[in-house]
Amino acid sequence: MIYNNIDFDTYFKHYPDGEGYYGKYGGAYVSPELKKAMADINEAYFTICKSSKFISELRRIRKDFQGRPTPISHLERLSESLGNGVQLYVKREDLNHTGAHKLNHCMGEALLAKFMGKKKVIAETGAGQHGVALATAAAYFGLECDIYMGAVDIKKQAPNVARMKILGANVVEVTHGLATLKEAVDAAFDAYIKEYKDAIYCIGSVLGPHPFPMMVRDFQSVIGVEAREQFLQMTGELPDAVVACVGGGSNAMGIFSGFLNDPVDIYGVEPLGRGEKLGDHAASLKYGTEGVMHGFNSIMLKDENGEPAPVYSVASGLDYPSSGPEHAFLHDLGRVKYDVVDDEETIDAFFKLSRMEGIIPAIESSHAVAYAMKLAKQMGKGSILINLSGRGDKDMDYVIENFGIR
Ligand SMILES: *Cc1c(COP(=O)(O)O)cnc(C)c1O
């Protein structure tokens, strides 16, 4: 399919290019020392992603350990309640082992670490989901694991902190700045620069310097591959629309990659938080401008000094002031539409999906559900496939404390 002069039939061959660019976005804006580390990772990745041993090992792990393929569920009661015939479906990444899509790339990254002879994995975490997924992968492969986490998030996500510790990871508290995800990324990067001979940095989304946005997308593309085949089998057709929430953008790239070459409308949903004022949301693609942070060029929210702006979302996994470079590219191309929902709409969707379908979604994923419900009202007919990136057990106490039972 040709869209805006890009041939999506051969898209994955050309994007990113050899330097890690998606159009003008991406790249590797890092110190010479780190550039060498990134080049090593890139080379190792290119070797193993063609190795049948690596591919079959990853396949086996996904099936026997992660519980893949995850199913697609038809949301019959919620669809009916919309009253216009539009049918909603969810790809159940919440049923992945550890409760979210992040294990898809963590098992791949840890297998890569093993291949490269590293002893340790280092990462940051926001909601704690990436930390739990990586701690799980580290335990599985017998690797050491240091997880950097903002003090604010440590408080908000106590169950995930406990899980990481039980899994044997070392949770490092980050207290500077706003003490959330952005600061944790900085701290994890600093640690990696010191330890890169023995360790590998495992980024938690389609972010950071090349080759991470590409690697994480490739590892997550299993969602899109499965979902496309399952949806066709289930309904005999493709969905009219695919919807996913976008923090860094890994679950979204995972499902989008399966449908980019199809006549399917694709929507990325960013958190509008408390409103449009800078500092009250984390909708970088909607309100941001081009800039470099954390080693890559993308669209980001900046303060008056051009530095990454403070951001807010009710979902800790979405409060990041930029998005992956490939999303910036797809945004400019117009192939994916990026839009927002606020905290209120999100919490409403959280309870609707719980009450009407018996699925408690992560607050991150609730953004996608909320948007799909709005989109369904505009569409009037057809079908929408939502990527349900994770389950909401981690969020229950927080929701009840701050919003009560609805
Ligand atoms: C981390 C997380 C997200 C956001 O990360 P992306 O890279 O944008 O996918 C979304 N949903 C859940 C459940 C998460 O844990």
124 is catalytic: yes
Which residues, 6+ apart, have CB-to-CB distance to 5 below 8 Å? none
284 is catalytic: no
- Burial class from Cβ neighbours inside 10 Å (0-12, 13-18, 19+) for residue 147 reads buried
pLDDT in tens, 393-403: 989 989 999 99
> Strands (DSSP E) along 195-294, which ranges?
199-201, 241-245, 265-273, 289-293
Burial 251-276 (b: 16+ CB within 10 A, else e): bbbbbbbbbbbeebbbbbbbbbbeee
Taking the centre of ligand 1 as the mean of its atom positions, its distance from the CA of residue 289, in whole angstroms, is 22
pLDDT in tens, 290-348: 999 989 999 999 999 999 999 999 998 898 999 999 999 999 999 999 999 999 999 99
List 93, 114, 118, 124, catalytic entry: 124
Q: Which of 239, 305, 316 is nearest to 278 (CA)?
A: 305
pLDDT in tens, 107-130: 999 999 999 999 999 999 987 889
389 is catalytic: yes
Of 94, 96, 102, 323, the one to substitute when testing ligand 1's pocket (max ligand atoms within 8 A of C-beta) is 102
Angle formed at CA 387 by CA 245 and CA 264, multiple of 5 degrees: 95
Which protein residues touch ligand 1 with a CB less than 6 Å away? Answer: 100, 102, 127, 129-130, 205, 245-252, 317-318, 362, 364-365, 389-390
**Mean pLDDT in order along the chain per 10 residues (406 residues):** 95 97 97 91 95 95 98 98 97 96 97 95 90 97 97 88 97 93 87 93 94 98 98 98 98 98 98 98 98 95 94 92 98 98 98 98 98 97 98 92 93
- Residue in the block written with tokens 């401008």: 289
Burial 387-402 (b: 16+ CB within 10 A, else e): bbbbbbebbeebbeee
Measure the CA–CA gap between 231 and 144, rounded to whole angstroms. Answer: 39
Residue ID of nearest Cα to ligand 1 atom 1: 317
Taking all residues of the chain, what is their mean pLDDT, rounded to a whole number? Answer: 96
Measure the CA–CA gap between 12 and 21, rounded to whole angstroms. Answer: 12
Q: What is the pTM of this model?
A: 0.96
